[in-house]
Amino acid sequence: MRKSHLEIALVTSRGTGRFVIPKGWPEPGFQPFEAAAKEAEEEAGLIGEIAQTAIGSYGYLKRLHLFASITCRVSVFPLRVTDELASWDEGAERQRVWMSPQQAASSVAEHELEQIILEFERDFGSA
């Protein structure tokens, strides 16, 4: 989220270039919401106030290599963005794009994530 109206930040994945939310593996010593904030900074160059409670979760198939993939479950934590870094850890590998919730929902591949975005807009669209 940024500005006075709701926008959703998506980044391109490194493997396929499709639009995704910043996400990562659980990290020892970090609460899930803290890990989410860390990933937002590393993958999208975004800093802000992270919610401590997930607004939903979705599953996706992560390809590990040509012949192996695993199903992952991602908890989604909204971040009210207070700063956008011009340069960040994965900035050379990813593109950061701001979209309306409707655009973001139609740009992600995972139906469950699409629904989370649309429900978030209904609940907090005027935030």
Say what the alpha-carbon torsion angle 53, 58, 64, 70 is, to the nearest 10 degrees: 110
Q: What is the tens place of the pLDDT at every residue in 82-101? A: 999 999 999 999 999 999 99
Q: Does 75 fall in a domain?
A: yes
Of 112, 79, 74, give the one whose Cα is nearest residue 98: 79
Identify the CATH number of the domain in which residue 88 sits. 3.90.79.10
Q: What is the tens place of the pLDDT at every residue in 73-84? A: 999 999 999 999
Could you tell me the CA-to-CA distances from 72 to 24, 32, 48, 99, 124 in Å, in that order?
A: 10, 15, 25, 25, 27
Can you give the pLDDT at residue 4?
Answer: 66
Predicted confidence band of residue 126 (pLDDT cuts 50, 70, 90): low
- Taking residues 47-55, report their average pLDDT: 98
Q: Does 2 fall in a domain?
A: no
Residue 3, pLDDT > 60, answer no
Q: Does 1 fall in a domain?
A: no
3-state secondary structure of 95: coil
For the chain, what is the mean pLDDT? 93
Could you tell me the CA-to-CA distances from 86 to 10, 25, 77, 92, 93 in Å, in that order?
A: 16, 25, 23, 11, 14
Predicted confidence band of residue 114 (pLDDT cuts 50, 70, 90): very high
Residue 127, pLDDT > 80, answer no
Is 73 exposed, middle or buried (CB count within 10 Å of its CB: 0-12, 13-18, 19+)?
exposed
Could you tell me the CA-to-CA distances from 120 to 6, 55, 61 in Å, in that order?
A: 10, 8, 23
Q: Does 3 fall in a domain?
A: no
> Where in the sequence is the domain holding 83, given as residue range(s)?
8-124
Distant-in-sequence, close-in-space partners of 23: CB < 8 Å, separation ≥ 6 = 36, 39, 43, 74
What is the tally of structural domains in the chain? 1
